[in-house]
Amino acid sequence: MSKTILVTGSTDGIGLVTAGMLAAAGHRVLLHGRDQSKLEQAQQTLAETYAAAVAGSYRADLSKLDEVDSLADGILNESPSIDVLINNAGVFHTPQSRTAEDLDIRFVVNTLAPYRLTRRLLPQLEKYARIVNLSSAAQSPVNLAAMAGEGSLSDFEAYAQSKLALTMWSRSLGLAHKDTGPVIIAVNPASMLGSKMVKQAFGVDGGDLRIGADILIRAALSDEFADASGQYFDNDSGRFASPHADALDDNKVAAVMQAIDRLVAQILREEVPNPA
C-alpha cells in the first residue's frame, strides 16, 4: 500500500537516495531541505521519473527552531496524514558551527530539531505510523553544559554527543508510546557510507548509500520493526542492539530529556513542558 513519508534532509546523501527508492516503490514522498535550489532539483529529478511521487516539498533550516515549527505547520496544514517521518537531516562539519543562540549546531540540527518536529507532529500521527531517527555508531556521553552552549567541542565530539542525545530521546519517547503508537526507532544506517558528510569529514569515498536507504525503508515499512518502539537498530551489525550504555540509564535519559525540553522552550520562548 502506498504510504506518505516525510524524509528530512532529502536533498543529498542517504536522504536523497531514500526518497528516490521510496518514490520508485510507489510511495508519496514529502521532500525537505534547507537550500531552495537543491530542493527544487531533487523535486524535479524525482517528478520526471515518478510523476505522482512528490507529494510536497518544504524548505526549512533546522538550525533555526522557528523554521522547524514552520515546517511542522506546513505539514500539519497540507499533509496531516503522514504515515512515516524519517528524521534524516544531520550535520557533522560546517564552517559556522554556532547558531544564532550560540549553541553548537550539531546539537540543534541533530538532536533538538528532530525532537521538536516529532513533538509537533506526534498528536497527528496514527497508532501504526513510524518515526525513524538517524542515529550513528558515533555516540558519546552528553555533556549537558556543552549542549546548553558552554565551551566548544571538536566536530566529532559534538556530533557523537548529539547522536547519543537523539538516541536517548528516541528511546524515551519510543517506550512512552509503545502501547499507543506511533513506533519510534533509532537507526544507525551503517558507518562510512559515501555521502558528502563522510567525504568532507573523513576524506574517503565511503560505502554505497543504498545500504543506508535500504535499512531506513525497512525501519519505515517492514513488519520486523512493527513492535520495535524504543529500540536501536545497528546496521553495522545488521540487528537490534544496545545503544551506548547511557541511553539505557533512566536517570541519564531523564536528565537529557529535561535539558532538551528546557533548551527548546528557551529558544522558542515557551513555557517548559511538564515531564510526560
Binding region for ligand NAP (CB under 6 A): 9, 11-15, 33-35, 38, 61-63, 88-91, 109, 134, 136, 188-189, 191-193, 195-198
Residues forming a β-bridge with 85: 6, 131
Closest contact distance (angstroms) between CB of 250 and ligand NAP is 25
Residue 215 C-beta-side C-alpha neighbours within 13 Å: 27
Report the candidate in 193, 81, 90, 91 with the shortest Cα–Cα distance to residue 129.
81
Closest contact distance (angstroms) between CB of 29 and ligand NAP is 13
Q: Which is nearer to ligand NAP, 98 or 178 (CB)?
A: 98
Helix ranges (H only) for 84-231 are 105-107, 113-121, 144-147, 155-176, 196-202, 209-221
Q: Which is nearer to ligand NAP, 2 or 237 (CB)?
A: 237
The 3-state DSSP class for residue 113 equals: helix
Asked if 169 contacts 259 with a C-beta cutoff of 8 angstroms, the reply is: no
DSSP letter at 119 equals H
Asked if 84 contacts 220 with a C-beta cutoff of 8 angstroms, the reply is: yes
Q: Which is nearer to ligand NAP, 268 or 272 (CB)?
A: 268
Closest contact distance (angstroms) between CB of 271 and ligand NAP is 26
User: What DSSP letter does each residue of 189-222 carry, written as one string?
Assistant: --SSBSSHHHHHHH-S--B-HHHHHHHHHHHHH-
Closest contact distance (angstroms) between CB of 97 and ligand NAP is 11
Closest contact distance (angstroms) between CB of 180 and ligand NAP is 26
Distance of CA 170 to the CA centre of its chain: 10
Distance CA 184, CA 178 (A): 8
Q: Which is nearer to ligand NAP, 210 or 262 (CB)?
A: 210
Q: Which is nearer to ligand NAP, 127 or 196 (CB)?
A: 196
Closest contact distance (angstroms) between CB of 23 and ligand NAP is 16
116, 108, 96, 268: CA torsion to nearest 10: 60
Asked if 155 contacts 110 with a C-beta cutoff of 8 angstroms, the reply is: no
Closest contact distance (angstroms) between CB of 147 and ligand NAP is 17
Q: Which is nearer to ligand NAP, 47 or 192 (CB)?
A: 192
Q: Which is nearer to ligand NAP, 38 or 178 (CB)?
A: 38
